[in-house]
């Protein structure tokens, strides 16, 4: 094959690649104006190559027009560079102005092209098997100089973008610089004949690589499909070169090992046959791989799409119940049979199940009862178990963060409630005092009724302040029996039998004022239920148990509703007591919690109703 035919083949490939690249960029560009400008550059490259081909085949007028349109190539590239670079941190006023005036640069380039055609700025010389090759005349200096100027300006714009951009955009610009150096090397041989250098332009044989590398350098960080295509293309190229090397080695040594028939076959035919075999192998490989996977791992197929579906579905779960339900549904859909997922603390189910465990090193999974499973199903379960364990860890972290956020919001709400309560106490107590003074001259019965209601309102305000405010504990030695006796003197205990079972010497470390509030609220709460009974009775007992202070307040009133749980009983505003405000037991729990103790309701102590308070043996001063 002659050099002129090799050159013509290279130009043909560059032309076709230019058209295909332009069509592909136009399809992918959408609203990306920079890719549209790059598509224009690819079209001009294809037309420039067609100009060389037209000269080769006798169409001199058409070839000259296409080759003298050379300035439009760097103009399109300048347009692309301006759009690609002039955004974000690299945006500059003069670049914006140049982008706005880019139509005038196109008009100037068209004017230079028309002037070059008019003055016959191009000619041909006989080169390479006496075939015509383009050269610039003396009149073509303007065309060549203008083309070089626009190209330098475009690369200066890229240089500015490389200095001010970062990340993928900076890497794309760097790739364009590298490809630009490669294109400069190839284009150098194009102008050799114009300067009288009678050297065949060998570098132009690699022109197809310039256009493809330039486009790839621009869009590889923007379009994922380009990277997949480049990966496959590079793999195919490496395989072709490897086959070529193997064929060359066979051609040298086949005769020495007795394969004379193979030696007589031309190298290019062996290479072509090998490429056909390689292509056939690539076509049948996916089918053969699926068949072998079915043979080695019979059962459900496991691929990237299945793994992606598993991971995406499991990560959507926001509760343990939903996670288990989604996991079992995914396994049932994949394996065609029911597989139960067992979390820690769950009872082991019968049949096939995936056991999830949490240890010191994190979450893990293993399959139980796999004797009857095929290797493929066992592989599916093991891979799914690994993904499910990772999802368990992620869900655990997510729930912990949600709980921390809930507590933060609760604390913030209490702070806001405390401020509101303090403001409300100030605003309400003033009118309450005015009402009390205004009722001074009212009848005795009316005055007593108003006084009782004002006392109730005042206590409600005080309870809200206690519940929502900050508790500051001041520890001291508190004699329990004396404290209980003083509390009873402040309460109305008529017609109620009260038994105090507390030793005279019993003392504990606690906040005396707060502990008094605990006894007042618990005893008054019991009196409200037993005061109107025929034989109402209460009992207050207190003692030390292994250093812990235990106090039980019993009453023989009606038993509490079974529907109320321990947590609900001590929540604010859930009172069942007539005339109650729903804060008494909530305040008691808050004070007991501040002391580091516990309070529970019991019905197994021989009384219908018992509230048991337990405080730790050692208390230290603190704020809650």
Distance, CA of 255 to CA of 261 (rounded, Å): 8
358-380 per-position pLDDT tens digit = 877 788 887 776 566 666 777 78
Residue 422, pLDDT > 70, answer no
Banded pLDDT at 277 (limits 50, 70, 90): confident
pLDDT at 297: 54
Residue 604, pLDDT > 60, answer yes
The first and second tokens of residue 384, run together, are 């799914």
pLDDT at 26: 77
Residue 345, pLDDT > 60, answer yes
CATH number of the domain that residue 14 is part of: 1.20.1070.10
β-pairing, 537-545 vs 497-501, is parallel
Distance, CA of 57 to CA of 382 (rounded, Å): 66
Asked if 323 and 311 count as a contact pair (C-beta separation under 8 A), the reply is no
pLDDT mean over 268-283:
73
Residue 560 carries which DSSP code? P
148-188 per-position pLDDT tens digit = 888 888 888 878 877 777 766 677 777 777 776 676 667 66
CA atoms within 13 A on the CB side of 443: 2
The first and second tokens of residue 615, run together, are 């405080």
Residue 435, pLDDT > 50, answer yes
How many other C-beta atoms can be found within 10 angstroms of the C-beta atom of residue 609? 21
Banded pLDDT at 618 (limits 50, 70, 90): low
pLDDT at 558: 86
Residue 443 carries which DSSP code? -
Last residue of a domain, one of 252, 273, 296: 296
Distance, CA of 560 to CA of 245 (rounded, Å): 92
The first and second tokens of residue 458, run together, are 């005042």
Helix (H) or strand (E) holding 324: helix 320-335
Three-point CA angle 529, 456, 451, nearest 5°? 115
CATH number of the domain that residue 571 is part of: 3.30.565.10
445-485 per-position pLDDT tens digit = 777 777 777 776 776 666 666 666 666 788 999 999 999 99
Q: What is the CA radius of gyration of the chain?
A: 45
In angstroms, how far is the first alpha carbon of the chain from the final one?
Answer: 94
Residue 111, pLDDT > 90, answer yes
Q: 3-state DSSP: the chain helix, strand, coil percent, rounded to 5?
A: 65, 10, 25
pLDDT mean over 540-558:
91
Position 110 in a domain? yes
In a 10 Å sphere around its CB, with 0-12 CB exposed, 13-18 middle and 19+ buried, how is residue 503 labelled?
Answer: exposed
Instruction: Report in angstroms the alpha-carbon separations of 388 from 335, 368, 383, 445.
Output: 16, 15, 9, 73
Position 425 in a domain? no
pLDDT at 327: 87
**Between helices 3-29 and 207-219, what is the axis angle to 10°?**
20
Residue 496, pLDDT > 80, answer yes
Tell me: do 134 and 251 sit in the same domain. no
Of the candidates 72, 49, 68, which has an alpha carbon nearest to the alpha carbon of residue 121?
68
- Tally the domains of the chain: 4
Banded pLDDT at 624 (limits 50, 70, 90): very low
Tell me: do 102 and 204 sit in the same domain. yes
Tell me: do 214 and 344 sit in the same domain. no
pLDDT at 598: 92
Report H helices in 192-296: 207-219, 224-253, 260-263, 267-296
The first and second tokens of residue 78, run together, are 């300048």
Tell me: do 210 and 106 sit in the same domain. yes
197-222 per-position pLDDT tens digit = 666 566 666 766 776 676 666 655 55
Asked if 582 and 575 count as a contact pair (C-beta separation under 8 A), the reply is yes
Residue 623, pLDDT > 50, answer no
571-603 per-position pLDDT tens digit = 776 655 555 556 778 888 888 988 899 999 888
- H helix and E strand count, the chain: 20, 14
Banded pLDDT at 541 (limits 50, 70, 90): very high
pLDDT at 621: 42
Tell me: do 124 and 204 sit in the same domain. yes
Position 435 in a domain? no
**Bridge partners of 598?**
614
**Bridge partners of 341?**
354
What are 573-582's contacts with CB under 8 Å, separation 24+?
A: 577/525, 577/528, 577/529, 578/528, 579/456, 579/528, 580/525, 580/528, 581/459, 581/460, 581/463
Tell me: do 251 and 313 sit in the same domain. no
Last residue of a domain, one of 244, 274, 296: 296
Position 25 in a domain? yes
Last residue of a domain, one of 408, 426, 455: 408
37-90 per-position pLDDT tens digit = 878 888 888 888 888 888 888 888 888 888 888 888 888 888 888 887 776 555
Instruction: Provide the percentage of residues in the chain whose pLDDT is more than 90.
Output: 11
The first and second tokens of residue 141, run together, are 């200096």
Tell me: do 200 and 327 sit in the same domain. no
Tell me: do 481 and 590 sit in the same domain. yes
Tell me: do 273 and 326 sit in the same domain. no
pLDDT at 539: 94
Position 494 in a domain? yes
Asked if 139 and 116 count as a contact pair (C-beta separation under 8 A), the reply is yes
Position 231 in a domain? no
More confident: 195 or 157:
157
Of the candidates 481, 507, 612, 620, which has an alpha carbon nearest to the alpha carbon of residue 552?
612
Position 227 in a domain? no
DSSP 3-state of 473:
strand
Tell me: do 315 and 259 sit in the same domain. no
Q: Cα-flanking dihedrals φ and ψ of residue 613, to 5°? A: -110, 130
Position 199 in a domain? yes
The rounded mean pLDDT for the chain is: 77
Asked if 542 and 551 count as a contact pair (C-beta separation under 8 A), the reply is yes
Tell me: do 551 and 503 sit in the same domain. yes
Burial 138-152 (b: 16+ CB within 10 A, else e): eebeebbebbeebbe
Distance, CA of 203 to CA of 335 (rounded, Å): 59
Q: Which domain holds residue 280?
A: 236-296
pLDDT mean over 382-402:
86
The first and second tokens of residue 42, run together, are 């690819």
pLDDT at 126: 76
Tell me: do 20 and 51 sit in the same domain. yes
Helix (H) or strand (E) holding 341: strand 340-342
Banded pLDDT at 332 (limits 50, 70, 90): confident
Instruction: Report in angstroms the alpha-carbon separations of 295 from 298, 334, 446.
Output: 6, 18, 97
Of the candidates 201, 206, 181, 180, which has an alpha carbon nearest to the alpha carbon of residue 191?
201
pLDDT mean over 261-278:
69
β-pairing, 548-555 vs 609-615, is antiparallel
């Amino acid at each position: 094959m002659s050099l002129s035919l090799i050159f013509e083949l290279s130009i043909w490939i560059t032309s076709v690649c230019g058209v295909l690249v332009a069509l592909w960029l136009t399809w992918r560009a959408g609203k990306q104006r920079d890719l549209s400008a790059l598509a224009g550059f690819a079209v001009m490259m294809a037309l420039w190559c067609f100009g060389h081909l037209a000269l080769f085949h006798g169409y001199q007028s058409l070839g000259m027009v296409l080759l003298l349109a050379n300035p439009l190539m760097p103009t399109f590239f300048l347009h692309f560079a301006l759009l690609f670079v002039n955004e974000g941190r690299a945006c500059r006023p003069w670049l914006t102005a140049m982008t706005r005036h880019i139509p005038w640069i196109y008009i100037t380039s068209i004017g230079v092209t028309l002037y070059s055609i008019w003055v016959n700025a191009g000619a041909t010389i006989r080169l390479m098997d006496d075939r015509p090759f383009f050269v610039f005349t003396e009149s073509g200096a303007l065309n060549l100089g203008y083309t070089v100027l626009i190209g330098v300006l475009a690369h200066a714009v890229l240089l500015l973008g490389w200095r001010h951009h970062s990340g993928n955009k900076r890497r794309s610009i760097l790739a364009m610089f590298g490809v630009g150096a490669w294109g400069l090397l190839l284009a150098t041989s194009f102008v050799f004949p114009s300067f009288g250098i009678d050297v065949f332009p060998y570098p132009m044989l690699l022109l197809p690589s310039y256009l493809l590398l330039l486009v790839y350098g621009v869009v590889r960080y923007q379009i994922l499909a380009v990277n997949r295509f480049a990966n496959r293309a590079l793999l195919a190229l490496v395989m072709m070169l490897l086959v070529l090397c193997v064929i060359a080695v066979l051609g040298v040594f086949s005769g020495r090992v007795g394969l004379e028939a193979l030696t007589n076959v031309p190298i290019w035919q062996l290479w072509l046959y090998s490429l056909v075999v390689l292509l056939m192998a690539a076509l049948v490989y996916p089918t053969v791989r699926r068949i072998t996977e079915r043979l080695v791992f019979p059962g459900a197929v496991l691929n990237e799409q299945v793994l992606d579906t598993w991971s995406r579905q499991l990560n959507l779960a926001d509760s343990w119940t939903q996670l288990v339900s989604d996991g079992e549904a995914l396994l049932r859909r994949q394996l065609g049979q029911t597989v139960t997922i067992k979390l820690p603390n769950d009872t082991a189910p019968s049949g096939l199940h995936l056991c999830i465990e949490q240890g010191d090193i994190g979450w893990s999974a293993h399959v139980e009862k796999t004797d009857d499973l095929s290797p493929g199903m066992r592989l599916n379960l093991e891979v799914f178990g690994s993904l499910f364990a990772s999802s368990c860890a992620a869900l655990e972290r997510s729930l912990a963060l949600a709980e921390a956020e809930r507590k933060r919001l609760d604390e913030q709400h209490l702070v806001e409630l405390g401020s509101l309560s303090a403001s409300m106490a100030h605003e309400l107590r003033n009118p309450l005092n005015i009402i009390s003074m205004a009722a001074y001259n009212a009848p005795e019965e009316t005055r007593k009724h108003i006084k009782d209601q004002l006392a109730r309102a005042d206590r409600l305000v005080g309870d809200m302040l206690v519940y929502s405010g900050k508790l500051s504990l001041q520890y001291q030695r508190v004699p329990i029996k004396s404290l209980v006796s003083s509390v009873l003197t402040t309460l109305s205990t008529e017609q109620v039998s009260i038994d105090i079972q507390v030793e005279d010497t019993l003392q504990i470390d606690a906040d005396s004022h707060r502990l008094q509030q605990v006894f007042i609220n618990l005893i008054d709460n019991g009196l409200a239920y037993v005061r109107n009974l025929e034989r109402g009775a209460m009992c207050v007992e207190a003692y030390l148990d292994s250093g812990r202070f235990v106090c039980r307040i019993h009453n023989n009133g009606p038993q509490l509703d079974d529907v109320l749980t321990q947590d609900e009983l001590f929540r604010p505003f859930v009172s069942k007591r007539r005339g109650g405000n729903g804060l008494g037991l909530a305040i008691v729990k808050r004070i007991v919690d501040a002391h580091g103790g516990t309070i529970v309701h019991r019905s197994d102590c021989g009384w219908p109703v018992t509230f048991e308070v337990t405080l730790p043996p050692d208390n230290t001063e603190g704020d809650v």
